[in-house]
Structure 1
């Protein structure tokens, strides 16, 4: 399974992304749901040309996109971005920490059966 992780651009200015990467490589938290081998294809932030990033993720065969836990908690663009990504990929709305967030936001969107 090919995975992309998108983090919040503002957070990336001060974060080492250890939580996201640790969860991915140890297959814990949001990544414990996968039984297959995982390949991290993309690790990027939500700024810049998101359409170009989506195009490259499609080209590289990404199956699922994880929006980082900081995106869910702090990004006003979280749900619109999740909806946009769900046109092409399964979307999981966190990477590490508890599955439940402080705010009731859509957590998992399978591109086949969207929850919006």
Structure 2
């Protein structure tokens, strides 16, 4: 079983329902297509605001192995690259959730992190 979490952009949560990320997760499509044939559990859905280090600790406690950084983070979060690298210290990271794997503004980063299981 693979435990994963989705990290979304705080500012986007003011108008986004999470529909695109969750639709892709449950359909195992787009960035989640890699899990076809695997048992996957969504153990967290959280935003980038507040105490991110605390949230990372909670995801580790929950046994999360992979974090998908949402497409809105890739497109609009200024420190996307740094964030992905930080998360990769503790998790495998997929740098988008839905839509094109190739971003309009920056390339998608996907990193096999500390777990090395991805």
TM-score range, shorter chain: over 0.9
The Cα offsets for residues 58-95 of structure 1, whole Å up to 9 and x where unpaired, read as 11100100000000001002111111100000000000
Aligned residue pair count? 114
Q: 1-side partners of 2:114 and 2:67: how far apart?
A: 14
Q: 2-side partners of 1:110 and 1:86: how far apart?
A: 7
Task: Look up the match of 2:50.
Answer: 48
Q: 2-side partners of 1:61 and 1:19: how far apart?
A: 24
Q: 2-side partners of 1:74 and 1:94: how far apart?
A: 12
1:79–1:105 contact (8 Å) kept in structure 2: no
Aligned-CA RMSD value: 1.6
Q: 1-side partners of 2:81 and 2:4: how far apart?
A: 19
Q: Gaps spanning 5+ residues in structure 2: where?
A: none
* Structure 1 residue 33 displacement after superposition: 0.6
2:84–2:109 contact (8 Å) kept in structure 1: no
SS of residue paired to 1:98:
coil
Task: Look up the match of 2:113.
Answer: 111
